[in-house]
Chain A
């Protein structure tokens, strides 16, 4: 049998989440003795690269009608490819594309779906997938009992095993249905790093006192190659755009390193960032709850600490 992995692209290039999902599927295939196959939709290049992440074969459905993302079309295509490949397990990333397509496909195939998986399934006498629940405050072990099983992988949650080799790319044509949806425009903020894909995130809150003080946050982020984020109050009062709001009711992120500057650490904010590998908190208030969730902390004034931090990072990079 085979395990089919949907590898998402952005502007024709594979995304970081795609590599991770493919590697997740490959690791599962190794465990179960299945064959891992990746599928890519729309115009894309560099697909051979997926060989390093554990698949020998990539099915490319390059129909230009798939260049603009329409979950209804992609669901149809993946279903066709899954049938052709005899796939019983289908893997997505739990990213923007996966969240749109995986539920549709599950309904189409009457299949059990676990979204936001954080580990390779336990297949000892069943098929149990560990996923984050309660906004990262707990995990659930969920059994899938249907014949076809669908999983979406929480970004930045598995250790990637990278090898050698190049995948062979097979073209497949699928009739793409027409739908009632038309993509009019895609506005990519090309200068900014995607918040959900960033390895490092620099986030700031009300402690910054006003939107005019974000220059040093952006400079620190720039020096670290990081994305910028903010707390809910700051987005609500309009100091920063809504899409930067991380937390339980904004977006949840899991970077390797998260800087929280002038954020007290309300439970709702922590829920959006508690999957971060390393958390650094800078706050004037030593009693701020965020310090309890932090790995490293500085009790001090952001306006004094951050400029020094920028200098120290510059110095490290120069050394």
Chain B
């Protein structure tokens, strides 16, 4: 079983969100970068579990510059066998998807696993785009993945419920919470990661279809109106008459 897991670099979940250059760039000053949690906790770990049960390999793939290597090594420390970095500066999701698809088309993976979205741009785009570019089935927001021979049984979230689908042959999946439990890399994994192969492959030509013009922060919230615990009815009155929410 040959598994590809696409990983993205993202700011730590506790990072302070601020912008520079006239609100056109994310301020990376003092920000720690991590493997995007959906990619790591759910897609990568489930890929590793499948490999441990059925044999095979797990390759992690990242699109970006050499500054992403420490984050890629973290994914190797968790247990991926090898890594590929496509040496492209990332512009928009479609460009990234084209890089991934161009590489993956040559490799005959049994499955391509991604996280459901990155926690910075919240695009939820790349996995579906890769599927279309490779003409493969795509199962989004998957919470469970089991494989039996060349058939995969996948559960995915839908509005107010769960859908169970079966896919024969190769597919692309985006993983959501429930797919696996996060793993913490151990010392042996961290040591091994230093010497695992990290191949750098050249990028293909792409052109961006979208570009970020500016960022803005949400308006500050006005102060919380506190209601006395002995006067709960007052809260209900405020919600009904003032906030008109009930």
Interface residues of A in 53-110 (CB under 8 A from B): 69-72, 75, 94-97, 99-108, 110
Q: Name the B residues within 8 Å of A294 (CB-CB).
A: 221, 224
Which stretch, A24-32, A158-166, A211-219, A248-256, touches the partner chain B? A248-256
Which of B158, B176, B210 has the most CB atoms of chain A within a 10 A radius of its CB? Answer: B210
Candidates A69, A113, A141, A274; contact of B163 at CB < 8 Å:
A69
- A19 CB, min distance to chain B CBs, angstroms: 13
Q: Name the A residues within 8 Å of B201 (CB-CB).
A: none
Judge whether A312 and B177 touch: CB under 8 Å.
no
C-beta contact mask, B112-131 vs A, less than 8 Å → 1, else 0?
A: 00001001111111111111
Q: Name the B residues within 8 Å of A110 (CB-CB).
A: 94, 209
Judge whether A295 and B235 touch: CB under 8 Å.
no
| With A296-B239, A301-B229 as contacts: A194 and B160 at CB distance below 8 Å | yes
Docked pose: A113 CA to B123 CA in angstroms: 9
Judge whether A104 and B92 touch: CB under 8 Å.
no
- A239 CB, min distance to chain B CBs, angstroms: 15
Could you give 8 example pairs across A and B, Cβ below 8 Å?
Answer: A72-B131, A75-B132, A96-B156, A136-B218, A179-B137, A186-B158, A257-B239, A296-B235
Interface residues of B in 219-235 (CB under 8 A from A): 221-222, 224-229, 232-233, 235
The reply on A145 being an interface residue by CB < 8 A is yes
The reply on A242 being an interface residue by CB < 8 A is yes
Q: Name the B residues within 8 Å of A115 (CB-CB).
A: 122-125
The 10 closest A-B pairs by CB, nearest first: A103-B128, A300-B229, A112-B209, A194-B160, A188-B161, A107-B132, A107-B129, A308-B232, A257-B245, A104-B132
Q: By DSSP majority rule, is chain B's interface helix, strand, loop, or mixed? A: mixed
Judge whether B221 and A245 touch: CB under 8 Å.
no
Judge whether B218 and A280 touch: CB under 8 Å.
no
Judge whether A299 and B210 touch: CB under 8 Å.
no
Additional 18 contacts, C-beta under 8 A, given A101-B128, A313-B246? A8-B159, A10-B159, A97-B158, A100-B138, A102-B125, A102-B128, A107-B130, A108-B132, A136-B218, A146-B209, A180-B167, A183-B165, A224-B246, A291-B226, A296-B226, A297-B224, A308-B233, A313-B236
- B46 CB, min distance to chain A CBs, angstroms: 14
The reply on B90 being an interface residue by CB < 8 A is no
Which stretch, A34-42, A44-52, A127-135, A167-175, touches the partner chain B? A127-135
Docked pose: A192 CA to B157 CA in angstroms: 14
Candidates A15, A274, A299; contact of B159 at CB < 8 Å:
A15
Judge whether A184 and B166 touch: CB under 8 Å.
yes
Q: Name the B residues within 8 Å of A181 (CB-CB).
A: 137, 139, 165-167, 171
The reply on B141 being an interface residue by CB < 8 A is yes
Docked pose: A317 CA to B92 CA in angstroms: 50
Docked pose: A10 CA to B218 CA in angstroms: 33
- B130 CB, min distance to chain A CBs, angstroms: 8
The reply on B243 being an interface residue by CB < 8 A is yes
Of the four ranges (under 10, 10 to 19, 20 to 34, 35 or more), the interface on chain B belongs to 35 or more
The reply on B32 being an interface residue by CB < 8 A is no
Interface residues of A in 259-297 (CB under 8 A from B): 267-268, 271, 274, 277-278, 280-281, 291-297
Judge whether B236 and A100 touch: CB under 8 Å.
no
Of the four ranges (under 10, 10 to 19, 20 to 34, 35 or more), the interface on chain A belongs to 35 or more
Docked pose: A305 CA to B232 CA in angstroms: 7
In the complex, the chain B residue whose C-beta lies closest to that of A15 is B159
Q: Name the B residues within 8 Å of A142 (CB-CB).
A: 210-213
Q: Name the A residues within 8 Å of B125 (CB-CB).
A: 102-103, 106, 113, 115
A contact residues vs B (CB 8 Å cutoff)? 8, 10, 15, 17, 69-72, 75, 94-97, 99-108, 110-116, 128, 131-146, 179-190, 192-197, 200, 224, 235, 242-243, 245, 248-252, 256-257, 267-268, 271, 274, 277-278, 280-281, 291-301, 304-305, 308-309, 311-313, 315-316
Candidates B14, B119, B128, B139; contact of A107 at CB < 8 Å:
B128
In the complex, the chain A residue whose C-beta lies closest to that of B137 is A181
Judge whether A72 and B138 touch: CB under 8 Å.
yes
Judge whether A143 and B177 touch: CB under 8 Å.
no
Judge whether A248 and B119 touch: CB under 8 Å.
yes
Q: Name the A residues within 8 Å of B37 (CB-CB).
A: 248-249
In the complex, the chain B residue whose C-beta lies closest to that of A104 is B132
Judge whether B160 and A312 touch: CB under 8 Å.
no
C-beta contact mask, B133-171 vs A, less than 8 Å → 1, else 0?
A: 100111111010000000001001111111111111101
The reply on B88 being an interface residue by CB < 8 A is no
Q: Name the A residues within 8 Å of B165 (CB-CB).
A: 181-184
Q: Name the B residues within 8 Å of A15 (CB-CB).
A: 159
Q: Name the B residues within 8 Å of A235 (CB-CB).
A: 177
Q: Name the A residues within 8 Å of B171 (CB-CB).
A: 180-181
Interface residues of B in 5-27 (CB under 8 A from A): 11, 13-14, 17, 19
Q: Name the B residues within 8 Å of A70 (CB-CB).
A: 137
